[in-house]
Structure 1
Amino acid sequence: MNSIKKKLSRYISISISVLLVSLFFITDISVDSWISNEFDRAMVNKAGLLETLVSEAPEKIDFDFADEFMPEFSGVNDPEYFQLWRDNKIFERSETLKLFEDNELPRLAVALHKSSIINITLPDGRSGRMYFTRFKPQIDSDIDVKEAFGLAREEFVKNQKPMELAYATSNEALNQILWFVDIIFIFTSISAVIAVRLIVFNVVERGLKPLDELNAALKQINLNSEVSEISTNTLPEELVAIAEGINHFISENKILYSREKRITSDIAHELKTPIAELLNLSEVAIKFPNEKQLAASFKTDVLTITQRLKNIVNGILLLQKSASLSELEKQQVNVTLLINTIIITENKNARDVKLSVHHQCENIKTNEFAFTTVLTNLINNALYYSSDSTPIMIDIAPDQKTNKMKVTISNFSTFDYSEQDLVLFFEPLWQKDSSRTSEERYGLGLAIVKSYCEKIGATINVSIEHDQKIVFTIII
């Protein structure tokens, strides 16, 4: 099973850890480079100092070096080394080189005034680095070159013989520092990864805690509980929309549940009466088998009651069919012909039905069965729930607002309806007559109309005007 908490913790931990380790790695390389560069710079400065101690006089070259000022070149504790060459011969070397049999530093091929730094093994066996350069010694400032050599200073400098200097020192302390920095880097990286993992896990766990609270609140809600919604007061902003969607879903389901309970009760009530009548007829017929009057009407009564049961069941099945999820096939329907056919079929008492069809609305592409069922029920209702002396008005014209077809069916009702009643018109098995005295009406017709309108993409509304004029409007 996938876990949002684990995935989120893993991805965030890996991302931050990779970022931190990368930063630490770059920092480690930068620090190592800086320390190495500083070490090399110190070597260059020390070698430069040794170069300044060499000066050229008319008949000799002086090396003004004193061991007491640079004891690292004469002692045995952490010794350093230097060596000078002139004319490919050793000119001078440090006292520390004289302590060992291998007492020469390697020479390198470098250009004049150029230098090179390499790693070597020192005469004492330690690892070290050596700076090697080729230079011309400085001229003693107390000597007049013109008088001493008969040349101008520039000419004398050009003809000077170059000297070579090698300076070497141990880099073991440097390597220890670099290793120490690397160890710190590794330890810091591991600690950072562990810390990030713990912090991210705790943060994610706390961040997802509202989801657990939302889940706990959902578990307390059921269709029969008094709690009908989740409070959004303490929820974070990201969960408010989800909670509102859940609340809407709960509200819709509670309404549907209440509706189904009422429908179940109404269906049981509708079926109870004819079943009770059948039982009574059967019991009486069994008890009085020789009663001629009862025997004469028994078959007709049973057929009437059975037909009523059949109509109720057919109405329920038609309502169930209208609510199915299957798509309805559409075809061209002649509206005028269809309505005239329905009027002829339903208007058995030759009532006054006024039909007006706009020329633009004579044909429509829709499902013929669904559209016929809708119009049949509405026209039948209009004929049944109005007095014979009042007309039925059917008007079909383009709707100016939506550019669709507008079907209006109106009649003057024999019942006094209120605005509250209009809300219940399309509820299954709802009847204005709560005693349900009618044996022909079951309150399913308008529910079927509403369901089929939704299936064919139409909207239906009902309104009440003066003198209890009921107006059904379909936009399709």
Structure 2
Amino acid sequence: MKTRSIKRNLINSISAIFGLFIIIVFTFVDVSVDDWAQQQFKFELQEKTNQIKTSTHENSASTSDNSNNHYVYQIWKNNQTIKRSASLHPYPELDLLHTKIPINSYKLVNVTMPNNEPGQALLSSYIHRNKDGSSDYMYITVSTSTKSLDRMTGLLDILLIGSFLFSMIIMRIVAKKIVQKGLYPLESLNRQIKKFNNNNTYSNNDFAFYEHKSYSEIDLIIKELNNFLTNNRNNIENEKRITSDIAHEIKTPIAELITLTEVHQRFPNDARLAETFTDDILQISNRMRVIVENLLLLQRTSSTIELYKEPIDISLLLTSIQHELTFKYQDITNRIQLKTQLDTVIITDIFSLKTILTNLIDNALFYSPPASAIQINVLNNTHNIIIEVINVATINYSETEIQKLIQPLYQYDSSRSDDNRYGLGLSIINNICKINQYPLSITQTITGDFTVTVSIAQ
């Protein structure tokens, strides 16, 4: 595929536009000057004709003269030749063009001169008043070569063509300079990108695109590139942290399994180890299974999942979730307080909504004081259905810590020692909300009320 160049296209476009403008101007000038020269030639021929008329009638006895050889003329009186120019003497049998035209009129025609040069002839007819009162019908034809006129107009055409070519060269050079200057910020940015690509990873950590002078178009590109670098660095740091946390979460139960197995092999007859060995192995294995399942769910919700929207009764769904969580929280029925203003079903994906509510209710029950109430509000406004899960948190989070809660495997320090929490619940919820385009909000009041809000468009 042929590579296109913005610079070359701009230069060609500017040159073509101004070239067309120059062609129009030069063509107008050429036509105007040619018309002016032709008109001047005609006026001069008319003036010469009038002079010949005057000199002829002042000296009517003369049949020849010594007029300028550039002009050839012949005069007729009542269709009889009365005078010929001296330049016609070598051609006694040759008569100039004699065509009838209206009295007192002129006619300019192209002719061939006696010496076979191209020329023009002015034909004129008039009535001459004699001294005795009589009048004669006169006819005169004056011819002259157009060689000098053609030479002048040809030279003018050459000058105009040369001027046009010179103007186009100058215009091309000026357009190139203007485009190069205009594209300099883009070329500077391109050099920075090459420099960034050629640098090593450590040099790129603090790299930022910049431009000494501010241009609205370039500033927008630089801003987006720097935002991309910032997001990319944050993603890399998150990936590093997630990888480290995954290794930590998996390494701990694996180390426990290895330790238990080695101790049992070393003391196979110890009754105390034998009694709990199977249960310990099963418990550790279940923990690993839960970690892997949550990680797989996190990965699944990190990309696009298939959504099957259907009518869902929120009350029945919440009852089902309470039943499923009863084995972990025996008093769940007494602790959850449902307040709903919804008189219709929710049209959404059952897997998405159930996963969101299950994780929110599980977190609220776990991270709130024992026997404290969990408030679930389902509100209906004009455009959205608002679901709020509110609990009293035992920890006062800062704004930065609240923003980190949706990061995978992030856990507040005091809860890391718990074997049943892995810091994946809110990350999974955040991913599902992004896929479904549900706005997610996490806030905490001064009194400690921790609220997670999900908005579902109707």
Give the alignment's TM-score, normalised by structure 1: 0.86
Instruction: Within 5 Å, give how 1:25-424 maps onto structure 2.
Output: 25-53=27-55, 63=60, 72-73=67-68, 78-137=69-128, 139=129, 149=133, 160-221=135-196, 224=202, 225-347=204-326, 348-351=329-332, 352-360=335-343, 362-399=344-381, 403-424=383-404
Offset, 1:8: 2.1
What is the alpha-carbon distance in structure 2 between the residues aligned to residue 418 and residue 96 of structure 1?
115
Q: CA deviation at 1:448?
A: 0.8
Deviations 1:151-208 (A, max 9, x none): xxxxx7xxx4421111111211111111111111222222233333333233323322
Shift of 1:66: 11
The 1:281–1:426 alpha-carbon spacing in structure 2 relative to 1, beyond 3 Å, is same
Contact 2:119 2:146 (C-alpha < 8 Å) held by counterparts: yes
1:431-446 aligned at under 5 Å gives the runs: 431-433=411-413, 436-446=416-426
Note the alpha carbon deviations across 1:79-105, whole angstroms, 9 max, x for none: 311111111110212222224345431
Contact 1:84–1:92 (Cα < 8 Å) also in 2: yes
Whichever residue aligns with residue 161 of structure 2, its letter is I
Q: 1:114 to 1:392 in 2, by over 3 A?
A: same
CA deviation profile, 1:21-42 (whole Å, cap 9, x unmatched): 2322232222222212211121
Give, in whole Å, the separation in 2 of the partners of 1:327 and 1:5: 46
3-state DSSP class of the match of 1:136? strand
Instruction: Say which is worse superposed, 164-173 or 114-123, in terms of deviation.
Output: 114-123
Compute the TM-score of the two structures, normalised by the length of structure 2.
Answer: 0.90
Aligned length: 446
| Cα distance between partner residues in 2 of 1:331 and 1:435 | 37
* Change in 2 beyond 3 A, CA 1:182/1:107: same
Counterpart amino acid of 1:83? Answer: Q
> Corresponding residue for 1:458?
438
Counterpart in the other structure of 1:58: none
CA distance in 2, matches of 1:130, 1:15: 43
Q: 1:270 to 1:288 in 2, by over 3 A?
A: same
Offset at residue 294 of structure 1 (A): 2.8
Distance 1:266 1:65, change over 3 A: farther
Per-residue CA distance 1:34-68 (angstroms, 9 max, x = gap): 2122111211222133334465xxxxx9649899x
Deviation at 1:246, TM superposition (A): 1.7
8 Å contact 2:185–2:211 — kept in the other structure? no
Task: Compute the displacement of 1:371 (Å).
Answer: 0.9
C-alpha contact (below 8 Å) 1:119/1:128 kept by paired residues:
yes
C-alpha contact 2:66 2:85 (8 A) present in aligned 1? no
Q: Quick one: percent identity of the two aligned structures?
A: 30
- Cα pair 2:342 2:380 within 8 Å, conserved: no
Shift of 1:16: 2.3
Residue of structure 1 in register with 2:428 after alignment: 448
* 8 Å contact kept, 2:305–2:435: no
Q: Distance in 1 between matches of 2:262 and 2:40?
A: 117
Query: Letter of the aligned partner of 1:162 in structure 2?
Result: Y
Q: Is the 8 A contact 2:66 2:86 kept in 1?
A: no
User: In structure 2, how many angstroms separate the alpha carbons of the residues matched to 1:373 and 1:64?
Assistant: 128
Runs of 4+ in 1 over 3 A off after TM superposition: 51-55, 61-67, 70-73, 99-103, 219-224, 285-293
- Aligned counterpart, 1:153: none
Distance change in 2, residues 1:102/1:24 (3 Å): farther
CA distance in 2, matches of 1:334, 1:435: 34
* SS state at 2:123 partner: strand
Aligned in 2, Cα 1:412/1:89: closer, same or farther, shift over 3 Å?
same
Instruction: Give 3-state SS (helix, strand or coil) of 1:128's partner.
Output: strand
What CA distance in whole angstroms lies between the structure 1 residues aligned with 2:62 and 2:365?
131
CA distance change for structure 1 residues 103 and 429 in 2, over 3 Å: closer, same or farther?
Answer: same
Determine the C-alpha separation between the residues in 1 that align with 2:414 and 2:371: 26
Greater shift, 286-295 or 251-260, is seen at 286-295
SS at structure 1 position matched to 2:312: strand
- Structure 1 29/326 Cα, relative in aligned 2: closer, same or farther at 3 Å? farther
**C-alpha spacing 1:298/1:184, structure 2 compared with 1 (3 Å):** same
Alpha carbons 2:67, 2:85 under 8 Å: kept: no
DSSP 3-state at the match of 2:89: helix
Shift of 1:210: 1.4
- 2:16 maps to amino acid: I
- Once the two structures are TM-superposed, the CA of residue 292 in structure 1 deviates from its matched residue by 3.9
TM-superposed deviation, 1:429 = 0.9
Distance 1:213 1:434, change over 3 A: farther
Cα deviation for residue 433 of structure 1 reads: 2.2
The residue type paired with residue 377 of structure 1 is N
Residues 410 and 37 (structure 1 numbering): CA distance in 2 closer, same or farther, change over 3 Å? same
- Find out whether 1:3 has 2:13 as its counterpart: no
Displacement of 1:302 in angstroms is: 2.1
**Worse-matched range after superposition: 283-292 or 119-128:** 283-292
